Amino acid sequence: MELFAQQILNGLTIGAFYALIALGYTMVYGILKQINFAHGDLFMFGAYLGMTFLNMLIGAGLVSPWLIIPVCLASMLLVSALGLLLERAAYRPLRNAGRLPPIVSTLGAAIILQNAVMLLYEPRFRWYPEKISLPAWSLKIYSIQITFTQLLLLFLSFTFMTFLYLFIMKTKWGIAMRAVSLDINTAKLMGINVNKAIEITFIIGPALGAAGGIMVGLYYRQLIFTMGWNYGLKAFTAAILGGIGNVPGAVLGGIVLGLLESLSAGYIASCWKDAIAFFVLIIILLIRPQGILGEKIAEKI
C-alpha cells in the first residue's frame, strides 16, 4: 500500500512533466494537423536556458530559490520566440506543401537545435546548480513522503494547465484557435486571422515546454542534450494516448503514462518501465484508437 501510494505520487509528478510537454504537441496538431518534431528539443533548450540563467545569477552573487520564478519566465519567453521562429522558418513556407515536407523540416530543426546545444554546452551531462535548490522540507502523510519540490512542481504544472484550459475555453482567441483547429476555411470566414491563431499556438506550446524543461531540471537536476528526444517521444505518446488535438486529453495522457511508468518501476523493475508502459499503451490504443478523450461526433446534414 505504501509503495503503491508513493509510486502514484511519483507517477503524478513525472506525468505532469509529460503533460506539459504533450500540450505543445497536441496544440500544434490541433491547429495545423502536423507533428512538431522539434518540440522535444524546444523543451530541452528551455531546460538548458534555465540552467544558464541560474548560473549567471549565482555568478552575480544572487542565491535564492525565488530566482527560479524570473528564470522560468525568461526561459519561457525565449523559447516562445524560438517557437515563433520555427513556425516562420519551418512551417509557414510549407503551409500548402502537403503533410510530409513539414515533418522533414521540423526534424531538421530538431537536429539543428540538438547540435547547437551540444556545441554550446559540450556533449556531456550538465547539472542544475546545487546552490539553488528548493527547500529540502518534506511532508510525511502516514508513510508517504511528499517533498516540497514535488508539491511545488505539481502545483505549478496544474496551474499552467488550468490557465491554458481557461484561455482556450473562455477567451476570444482561445475560441478562435479551437475554430481554426476544427475548420480552417470556415474560421477564415469568421474573420479570424488564422496566422495569428497559429502564432499564438507556437507561443504557448513552447512556453509550456520550457517550463517543463526547467521543472525536469529542478527535479532530476541533470541534463543531457539528447533529453529532448526521450521526453519528446514520451510526451508525443501521451498526446496520442489522450487523443491528439485534445487539450485535456494531453494532460490525462501524460498522467496515465507517468503512472504506468512509476508503477511498473515500483512493482516490477525500473529497467522494464518503458517496455511495460508502452505495452499498456498499445493495448489502450488497440481498444480506443482515437485516444482516451479523442472522439468523433457524427455530423447531421
Q: Which residues bind another protein (CB under 8 A)?
A: 172, 175-176, 178-179, 182-183, 185-194, 297-301
271 or 297: CB nearest another protein: 297
Q: How far is the CB of 184 from another protein (least distance, A)?
A: 10
177 or 240: CB nearest another protein: 177
DSSP state of 298: P
Pairing of β 144-147 and β 138-141: antiparallel
Residue 138: strand, helix, or coil: strand
How many CB atoms are closer than 10 A to CB 78? 17
What distance in Å separates the CA atoms of residue 213 and residue 227, rounded to the nearest whole number?
10
Q: How far is the CB of 241 from another protein (least distance, A)?
A: 20
What distance in Å separates the CA atoms of residue 261 and residue 38, rounded to the nearest whole number?
24
Q: 140 pairs with which residues across the strands?
A: 145
136 or 189: CB nearest another protein: 189
Q: How far is the CB of 245 from another protein (least distance, A)?
A: 11
Q: How far is the CB of 33 from another protein (least distance, A)?
A: 15
What's the first-to-final CA gap in the chain, in angstroms? Answer: 53
Q: How far is the CB of 284 from another protein (least distance, A)?
A: 22
Residue 119: strand, helix, or coil: helix
120 or 190: CB nearest another protein: 190
Segment (H or E) for 43: helix 39-59
140 or 300: CB nearest another protein: 300
32 or 224: CB nearest another protein: 32
Give the dihedral sign, CA 281/220/45/206. positive
Longest dimension (CA), the chain: 67
Q: How far is the CB of 105 from another protein (least distance, A)?
A: 24
